[in-house]
Structures are given as C-alpha cells and as structure tokens.
C-alpha cells in the first residue's frame, strides 16, 4: 500500500512542469519521495579523530564515505558514490554555491564521451544532480543528490560525489558557502 502511494505521488511530481519545482508543494512532494526511498548506506554519527575543524567536509574516496565533522570527537558519516577509475581526484576545495533542485548542463568533456546526453536539463526529480548540489570552487565537481540510490557506495561518477537525495538534503542544511571540503584517496 505504501509503495502504491509513493508511486502515485511520484507520478504527480513527474507530471509537473519543470518550473513547478519552484513551488513549495512540488518540492515537498519530491522531498516526501526521498524520505521514503531506501537508503543504500545509512547515515550515522561516528567517532572522529581527524585533524579537521568542526564544519569541515572530509571525503574518503577509498572508503566511499563523506564525513561532516561535528566536533567533540564526532562526525556524521554518509555513504557516497565517487569517481570511477580515471575520474577520481583528491585535494581541497571550498563550497562556493548551494542550489536546491539545480539545473544540469553536462560539461563539454562529458558531452564528448557521451554525445547522447541532453545539453540542458531543468532541475527536478529526473535531474541527475538530484535534490541539492554543493558546488566546489571553480571546478566541474559537485557534491550532489542522485536519482540512482543504488550507485551510492560505488565508483561510478565522472568525479562528482553522489549522495542519496535524503542525505544531500541533510548535509545541505548543515553546510554554508565557504565550507572547506577535503577529498582524500
């Protein structure tokens, strides 16, 4: 029964025009879907012994986990999808922008590899960037939601860090522009 309700709500959300995602009700429907979606890797508060200040995001691509440092020896650990072989990277970036239901324009390098991709996709439930996106400096990389929760915990992206829509919404609410993001291999 719950599955039928979720599918019905999804059909309503998907039938809405792209600009409807500016509407609080449409965003609420999509957020409802994400809350009841299966969570690939549950988010947890874990002990933290790292050297980074509270508020820092630390991503371990080898563990396929993102840590949001809380302080007092704790962090929130999220499961993430990371760059596949040849697309992984490491370094330090800063969150320069945050967007809810972001539009997507595949970069030229991605279009070269995948000419079948659309040149533009408005924000919404079908958009590959998902419910939220954190833009990392002037790079092409983002921490973003995903409409493919089964890819969380895998190395499948072109370098972006993927999260479930539920988890990226949680992180989005915690993070401010200017937040330091440290990506480790």
160 as an active site residue: the answer is: yes
End-to-end CA distance of the chain: 43
Dihedral sign of CA atoms 53, 68, 86, 101 in order:
negative
Q: Which residue in 160, 163, 171, 182 is the catalytic one?
A: 160
Q: Checking phi first, is residue 27 left (phi over 0); if not, alpha (psi -120 to 50) or beta?
A: alpha
DSSP string, 96-149: EEEEES--B---HHHHHH-TTS-S-B-SSTTSTTTTEEEEETTSS-EEE--S-G
Q: Which residue in 144, 164, 165, 172 is the catalytic one?
A: 144
Burial class (CB within 10 angstroms; exposed 0-12, middle 13-18, buried 19+) of 74 = middle
Angle at 180 between CA 99 and CA 30, to 5 degrees: 25
The residues assigned a catalytic role are: 144, 160
């Amino acid at each position: 029964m719950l599955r039928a309700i979720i599918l019905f709500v999804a059909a309503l959300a998907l039938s809405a025009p792209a600009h409807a995602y500016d509407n609080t009700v449409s965003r609420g429907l999509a957020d409802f879907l994400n809350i009841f979606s299966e969570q690939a890797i549950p988010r947890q508060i874990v002990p933290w012994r790292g050297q980074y200040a509270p508020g820092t995001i630390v991503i371990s691509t080898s563990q396929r986990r993102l840590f949001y440092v809380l302080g007092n020896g704790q962090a929130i650990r999220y499961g993430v999808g990371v760059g596949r072989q040849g697309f992984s990277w490491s370094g330090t970036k800063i969150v320069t922008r945050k967007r809810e239901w972001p539009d997507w324009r595949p970069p030229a390098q991605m279009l070269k590899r995948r000419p079948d991709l659309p040149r533009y996709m408005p924000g919404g439930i079908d958009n590959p960037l998902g419910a939220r996106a954190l833009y990392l400096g002037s790079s092409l990389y983002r921490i973003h939601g995903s409409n493919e929760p089964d890819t969380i915990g895998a190395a499948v992206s072109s370098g972006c860090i993927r999260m479930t829509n539920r988890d990226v919404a949680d992180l989005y609410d915690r993070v401010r522009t200017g937040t330091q993001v440290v990506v480790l291999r």
